[in-house]
Amino acid sequence: MTSAEADRTGRAVSDGDARPHGRWPLYWFAGAVVCVLGPYVVGGIRTEQLALYGSAVVAVLLYWRHARVLLPGAPVLALWASYALVAAVGGLTIESRLEWGSGSLVAGLDNALLPLATMTAVAFWTRVVARTVLLRTASWVVVGAMALNGAIAVLTSVVGVEQLSPLRAFWAASGSEATVAELAAGSGRFSGVFNQPAEAGVAYSLAAFCVVYLVRSGTSVPRRVWLALWVLVILGGVMTLSKIFIVGGVLITLGLVLTGRPHRRLLTASAALTVAGSFTLGALGWLGTWGASGMLGWYVWSAQAGNSWLYTLSAGRFGAGSAGDAPTPTPEPEDGSGGVPSEFEQPGGLVELAREVLLEHPVVGVGAKGLPVSYDSTWIEAIVVAGVVGALLVLAVHVVLLIQWIRLRQTLPREEWRLAGAIVLLVWGSSFGMPSLTGNRESTLLWIFLSILVVFTQRGSQWDRTLDSAP
């Protein structure tokens, strides 16, 4: 919005046409963010879907006269809507000629449409709540939730998955025979309420960025409180043994910490001690069945076996492996319907899968139904469900996000701009390890922050700097 200012209750006033709305829009927003991390409720429906689809519909009905709030996000909205349209039409009209059959049309449509619903809802929330208040609220919710999730992950490693049966409601729809989370736990990887360690890795990375942002943007929370949250977020991320967190998230967070002065030493020292302490406790057997040593052993074996560095780093997803390859350290297949493992095993990895799709369905892929296989990459998923057209559209989304972030340097306050850059970089990096813009839960969290910071923020507009009403 232009010429925006916020009053002390967190209400946004834009161009003289906004009306007082009280505090309920902020509670509505906070509740929706909490619901993103909720369980499956009926069949394959998650609280995340109910909250975001429902919020988008209600927001449009309440504020349809102010639909211009969507205009700043038109480039990203148009590109993603085009991608969703290609996938949807293909899912309804294309019969796959590939040997693996078809996946779930409903799940595929949800992957394509939920980001649109999320962006729409957030755009209207920025109409009635100051952006800074939305950002700080979302940051605190994500940090608190992921710190709790870290504690749950540690508890799971100590007492065992079978002792925490309520977690199955978060991992897959009722009636599912197996979940990726249970397979991962068998290899010593624990992701709390997330079904896949990679999804948790993205969410922990986002939470770590948010801690740095909060402690450097005037938070009034006591140091011991945010320090405890910080330690739990780092510990939870390590418990996943997700490369997205350990390689990507840690490096980006380190860059955020070291390139700013406030609390730099404390953040660095506490994070380093947490990582070192977790590996020490794991070696002593005090972190239950956490599998850090097993994972490290696989990577050592892979390197000694002569596998390419890309094969080793990606755990067999990309690159060339030698004859007699050992299985990847943790099976993480997902059929797109909520986490039920697939039986797919493709010689040559994801590149070969993409090649097969491009040979048979090059232009628009096989549609939203997809394939009952593990995509493990934003780009492979785009090729499967929308072909070359889809891959180009998704690439355009990534490029636009990057360009818009760069152009906002003089618009956003420094810490907000740095947070936005970390998230955009996370989106780019994680896209090679999982479909990070469509994955369960974590993608919605990413889209919420991207929408507040990048998608709907206009270059040169006045960013609301009022912090008085922020939680």
Q: Which residue has the higher pLDDT, 51 or 304?
A: 51
Weakest-pLDDT range from 214-223, 294-303, 353-362: 294-303
Q: What is the pLDDT of residues 11-28, one digit of tens each?
A: 443 333 333 466 889 999
Q: Is the pLDDT of residue 237 over 50?
A: yes
Instruction: Summarize the confidence of residues 351-379 as an average pLDDT.
Output: 90
Instruction: Summarize the confidence of residues 460-468 as an average pLDDT.
Output: 49
Instruction: Summarize the confidence of residues 98-126 as an average pLDDT.
Output: 93
Instruction: Summarize the confidence of residues 35-54 as an average pLDDT.
Output: 94
CA atoms of 397 and 150, how far apart (whole Å): 31
Question: Residues for the chain: how many in total?
Answer: 471
Q: How confident is the model at residue 260 (pLDDT cuts 50, 70, 90)?
A: confident
Given phi > 0 = left and psi -120 to 50 = alpha, else beta, which region is 323? Answer: beta
Q: What is the pLDDT of residues 432-442, one digit of tens each?
A: 989 999 999 99
Task: Please state, rounded to an integer, the average pLDDT across all residues of the chain.
Answer: 84
Q: Letter for the amino acid at 448?
A: I
Weakest-pLDDT range from 128-137, 226-235, 236-245, 310-319: 310-319
Q: Is the pLDDT of residue 464 over 70?
A: no
Which range scores top for mean pLDDT: 99-108, 296-305, 459-468?
A: 99-108
What are the residue ranges spanned by the domains of the chain? 5-290+349-455
Per-residue pLDDT, 459:
76
Q: How confident is the model at residue 161 (pLDDT cuts 50, 70, 90)?
A: confident
Q: What is the pLDDT of residues 169-188, one digit of tens each?
A: 999 887 667 788 998 888 88
Instruction: Summarize the confidence of residues 260-286 as an average pLDDT.
Output: 90
Per-residue pLDDT, 331:
40
Per-residue pLDDT, 248:
92
CA atoms of 145 and 203, how far apart (whole Å): 10
Structure tokens that stand for 241 in this block? 């043994």
